[in-house]
């Protein structure tokens, strides 16, 4: 019986993260759920206060990301979907990393280009990783 190296590796292994469970790389369905929650909240706030303005929605989304990642370890969507954002080596991401990450996230393209650890370019640039809580 032979197995390739690809069969033995998993997202987050190179980062020293577990294969599954708490601390493992958050997978796509969980990420999409968190994103949907955050975007829906931004739309509701935009409708309530700005009669739904696309720019206001994007700004609300960005502000929520920037405020909540350093304070509660992730956006409300991240936390409700069972995730947290941490530094690549573990620990608090600080204040500037969530800003860089969010600015790239709202550009969309960096968020949909992933590496072998399922981290988007926005997370690579910020030195962060989204993990299961």
Whole-model pTM: value is 0.90
Rounded Cα distance, 30 and 78, in Å = 8
Which secondary-structure segment (H or E) carries 15?
Answer: none
Confidence (pLDDT) at 5 = 53
pLDDT band (50, 70, 90) for residue 1: very low
Q: pLDDT tens for residues 78-132?
A: 999 999 999 999 999 999 999 999 999 999 988 999 999 999 999 999 999 999 9
Q: Are strands 83-87 and 128-132 parallel, antiparallel or unpaired?
A: antiparallel
Which residue blocks in 1-127 are alpha helix, DSSP H? 5-8, 28-50, 54-72, 76-80, 96-105, 109-112, 121-126
| Percent of the chain at pLDDT exceeding 90 | 92
| Percent of the chain at pLDDT exceeding 70 | 95
Confidence (pLDDT) at 7 = 63
Mean pLDDT, the chain, rounded, equals: 93
Report DSSP state, residue 58: H
């Amino acid at each position: 019986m032979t197995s390739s190296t690809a069969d033995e590796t998993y997202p987050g292994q190179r980062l020293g993260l577990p294969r599954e469970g708490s601390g493992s790389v958050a997978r796509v369905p969980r990420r999409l759920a968190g994103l949907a929650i955050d975007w829906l909240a931004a739309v509701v706030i935009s409708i309530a206060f700005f009669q739904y303005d696309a720019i206001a929605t994007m700004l609300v989304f960005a502000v929520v990301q920037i405020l909540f990642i350093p304070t509660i370890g992730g956006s409300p969507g991240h936390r409700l979907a069972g995730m947290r954002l941490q530094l690549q080596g573990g620990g608090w991401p600080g204040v500037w990393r969530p800003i860089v990450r969010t600015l790239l996230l709202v550009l969309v393209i960096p968020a949909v280009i992933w590496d072998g650890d399922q981290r988007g370019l926005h997370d690579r640039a910020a030195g962060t990783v989204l993990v299961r809580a």
